[in-house]
Structure 1
């Protein structure tokens, strides 16, 4: 197996477990994550022994989302020379690579079950939205937090979640950036079921994966392919639109303030500039 930096991968009885392992705190998503994610799922997609995948996080949390300190370079040039085309174009290229990384999860022919414990924030929510099925432990919490850091969510939540939780719930989470617990997540359909603790949700995810793996693999893959056709083109168009939108409008005093507030561990003061 490949020696990954941001993931561990184990396969047994036709079920692969992909575990986020950092190296950022709370499995935050830094450069290693974005580089390796499509490679991991590309390998699993091509492996005939794998019929279903369980996606989870190491430690107490699924993921804190984007590792802002580690990814500062992606935003830095854009903010430093925000009036010019070159840094905007470079940002657009990097953003579309990040979008493609998460899309690799959705495009994987093998069904993906996300087992979520602890925090699932921002990019973490983008990631589980690309999974086929989501399960949670009772202490899990979810947040589409981009609005709180002066960013329009651009990796897939705004395009994949309408079919999962509906427009009203999605708009509430998007506009407020508020946190929701596992009970609310189950109520709105973000997760199928809630289990007592981290061990229980992982066990349930593997049991579900084994049920899927017991069926004819090409039929399961065919069913996923048919289901994806309903939304695939819409999601792809939406991702291209938001990447262009953010490349044009993301640079702002509010974004600079949000990033500074993170580093200074204080509440941001937004002014709409």
Structure 2
């Protein structure tokens, strides 16, 4: 049974079932473009998922022909006015971007793995978004485009920082300098996507199957694995090994290991405690 969510969302739907949170971009008529409400709702949804501890994996999918066409261009001409007329105005752009970057970074800092299921176009800000996810599945007609260069700006919400860790540097430069499309088949060859499917239905089914496999593992061990992989990506081997020692010491559970081994021998699903729900410090007391 789907668990109700207390969030009121316009740009997304969010349901959690069998410890799998499924967040769906649901504005296909607008090609799921991103505007301030999109960012507010995504931030709220990720915060809710992170704090509740109910979900053990998050699947992000979309509706319509394209996963997302990225930033809604009309936003720049109306709700957001970037002041380039003074040093003070230009300096304020830093803080504006920092807030947007922080929302996508929540996909990386989330306590659970994130799987992106991508159909059609994954353009501009959508590339920023999916590169912050753990796994990416795509349809055969999917493509990735660093659209920002085509509209006279630099990609600024994570693509140029995360993509070089996922693709060969020369390929990143080609895409970033030209705005060319990277088709799903080529993305698969480079390892940007884990698998390519002929239909969106098959892709989502595979994403859910993977999510079910992840959800069957001890959640705290999955959390620790995500922590270790990301730390190792950004640090030396020596530093990462030291961090691994402290991490393993913090989360090691003989009970989890015994239950995992016993469940394998008995050919049944393991039974593990969920992640502890979180509260902000300000929520405690009077």
TM-score by structure 2 length?
A: 0.77
**Are 1:61 and 2:66 matched, yes or no?**
yes
Measured after TM superposition, the shift of residue 209 of structure 1 is 0.5
CA shift for structure 1 position 75: 5.3
Aligned-partner SS, 2:13? strand
- The residue that corresponds to 2:168 in the other structure is 166
Q: Distance in 1 between matches of 2:173 and 2:209?
A: 33
Which residue of the partner structure matches residue 43 of structure 2? 38
The residue aligned with 2:193 is 191
The Cα shift of 1:85 comes to 2.8
Corresponding residue for 1:210? 212
Q: RMSD in angstroms over aligned alpha carbons?
A: 1.8
Q: Which structure has the larger Rg over C-alpha atoms?
A: 2
Q: Is the alpha carbon distance of 1:18 and 1:232 closer, same or farther for their aligned partners in structure 2, counting shifts above 3 Å?
A: farther
Task: Report SS of the residue matched to 2:66.
Answer: coil
Match of 2:21 in 1: 16
Q: Distance in 2 between matches of 1:84 and 1:187?
A: 45
Match of residue 115, structure 1, among 100, 114, 117 = 117
Per the TM alignment, residue 59 of structure 1 is displaced from its structure 2 partner at its CA by: 1.6
Give the deviation of 1:135 after TM superposition: 0.5
Structure 1 residue matching 2:128: 3-state secondary structure? helix
Mapping of residues 1-273 of structure 1, within 5 Å: 1=5, 2-22=7-27, 25-73=30-78, 76-78=81-83, 82-231=84-233
Displacement, 1:151? 0.9
After superposition, the Cα gap between the structure-2 partners of 1:33 and 1:71, relative to the gap in structure 1 and judged at 3 Å, is farther
TM-score by length of 1: 0.80
Name 1:257's counterpart in structure 2: none
Q: Does structure 1 conserve the Cα–Cα contact (< 8 Å) formed by 2:28 and 2:63?
A: no
Give the secondary-structure state (helix, strand or coil) at the position aligned to 1:229. helix
SS for the counterpart of 1:27 is coil
> Offset at 1:166?
2.2
Larger mean CA deviation between 160-169 and 191-200 belongs to: 160-169
SS in 2 for 1:44: helix
Task: Provide the C-alpha distance between the structure 2 equivalents of 1:213 and 1:113, rounded to a whole number of angstroms.
Answer: 12
Kept in 1: contact 2:108–2:133 (CA 8 A): yes
